[in-house]
Amino acid sequence: MLHLLWILLKISGIFLLIAFACALLSVLAMLFWPIKYRIKAAREDTINPGGAYAIMKATWLFCLLNIMLGYEKKLFFKVKVCGVTVYDMSKKKKTATKKLSKESAPDAAPPPNPISTPPYAKQLYDLQEEEGKEEKEEKDETAQEKTEPFWKKFSKKIKLFFWKLKALLLKILQFLENIRYTFTALYGKIRKAAKKTAYYGEILGQERSQCALAVIWGETLRLLKHCKPSKLQANIRFGLEDPAAVGQILSVYGILYPLLGQNVHICPDFEHKMLEGNLTAKGRISVFFLLQILWVLYYDKDVRRLYRLLKKGGQVNG
């Protein structure tokens, strides 16, 4: 009996060890399996701009995760997990437009503007209603006006004139009130932006903030160096209206030539304004390296302090 129990414990232990090994291998694969990306772009000259396209593909963990982002006459973005599409920008836009067309009412009135509601608006509305009633009464009593005396017709015209004059004055007051409200709101926004700018300038000028920015800049350079394409090929021909600007771009290309490599060829055109060529890039990004950078940034006291202060600055009221 004990021997049988011992055999069962050994078998269960073996299965647990196999499960633990599989879980450990899965975690290691997720950490150390790189994200592979590929970029392709091409463009003809300005005569045929429709020929331009750019596609970026990224795959991870035996293509279990596949991300595609690009532009070919329109922007598209697609995400696949295990070969199943979980997100498609084009389909989402179509469903959104269908919902909007169903929900939107053709005769729906636009929402009122909160700025254009001064205290004179109600008086002006009442005055317009009274003026409409007066005009309607005048149209209904056209037959009676022929028999009315001259002084009565003249008094009605004087009354209508004063009504229109009052309406004009109320419209002018409403316009001036709208201008005052607009400038008041604009002044409030400018004052709030000035306070935020002063707050951020004071925070970024501190010594600990400078140390945090140095850490962030160093980790950013590490990330850019890590994400640098392992293979880069480009043949680009460009031209601008100003030949001096073309020369400046070539000087920058000369400085970056050791980083770009021998497979990047740039041909200038000093006579025509144009841009054409093709570009291909391949590279990989380690998930473990990304987690390492996030670890350094998260556990740096100066970086966390700077993040809290900047987040607090977004709540500064004007």
Helix axes 287-298, 207-226, angle to 10 degrees: 180
d(CA 309, CA 203): 7
270 to 5, 221, 254: CA distances (angstroms) = 87, 34, 17
Per residue in 37-81, pLDDT (tens digit) is 999 999 876 544 557 889 999 999 888 899 999 988 888 899 999
Report the alpha-carbon distance of residue 115 to residue 184 in Å, rounded: 10
Q: What is the structure's pLDDT at 275?
A: 86
Q: Is 69 left (phi over 0), alpha (psi -120 to 50) or beta?
A: beta
pLDDT per residue as tens digits for the range 193-227: 888 888 888 998 999 999 999 999 999 999 999 99
Helical ranges in 51-149 per DSSP H: 89-103, 120-140, 142-145
65-71 and 53-60 strand pairing: antiparallel
Residue 133: count of CB within 10 angstroms of its CB: 10
pLDDT of residue 108: 47
Phi/psi of residue 107, each to 5°? -100, 15
**Over the stretch 87-138, which tens digit does the pLDDT of each residue have?**
988 777 666 666 666 665 555 444 444 444 445 555 555 656 665 665 665 5
Higher model confidence: residue 91 or residue 182? 182
pLDDT, tens digit, 9 for 90 and up, residues 222-281: 999 999 898 999 999 988 888 888 889 989 988 888 888 888 999 998 888 888 899 999
Q: Cα dihedral sign for 85, 90, 94, 95?
A: positive
Residue 26 CA to residue 20 CA, distance in Å, equals 10
- State residue 106's pLDDT score: 52
Nearest alpha carbon to residue 249 among 235, 237, 234: 237
DSSP 115-126: TT--THHHHHHH
Distance of CA 199 to the CA centre of its chain: 25
Closest CA to 57 of 283, 261, 233: 283
Q: Which two tokens stand for residue 1?
A: 């009996």
Tell me the C-alpha distance between 98 and 76, whole Å.
19
Helix (H) or strand (E) holding 270: none
Residue 68 amino acid letter: M
What is the residue whose two structure tokens read 């209904």? Answer: 140
Yes or no: say if 234 and 279 are a contact pair by the CB < 8 Å rule: yes
Check residue 164 and give its pLDDT: 81
Q: Tell whether the model's pLDDT for residue 146 goes beyond 80.
A: no
Residues in the chain: 318
Residues paired with 57 in a beta bridge = 38, 68
Q: Decide if 265 contacts 278 (C-beta within 8 A).
A: no
pLDDT of 115:
43
Query: What pLDDT is attached to residue 104?
Result: 59
Q: Please give the pLDDT value at position 91.
A: 79
User: Are residues 125 and 167 in contact, defined by beta-carbon separation less than 8 angstroms?
Assistant: no
Task: Residue 59: name the closest of 49, 50, 69 by CA.
Answer: 69
- Reading across the β-sheet that carries 84-88, which strands appear in turn? 84-88, 75-81, 65-71, 53-60, 35-43, 274-285, 231-239, 264-269
Burial of 232 (C-beta count, 10 Å sphere; 0-12/13-18/19+): middle
Name the amino acid, one letter, at 46.
T
> Does the reported pTM lie above 0.75?
no
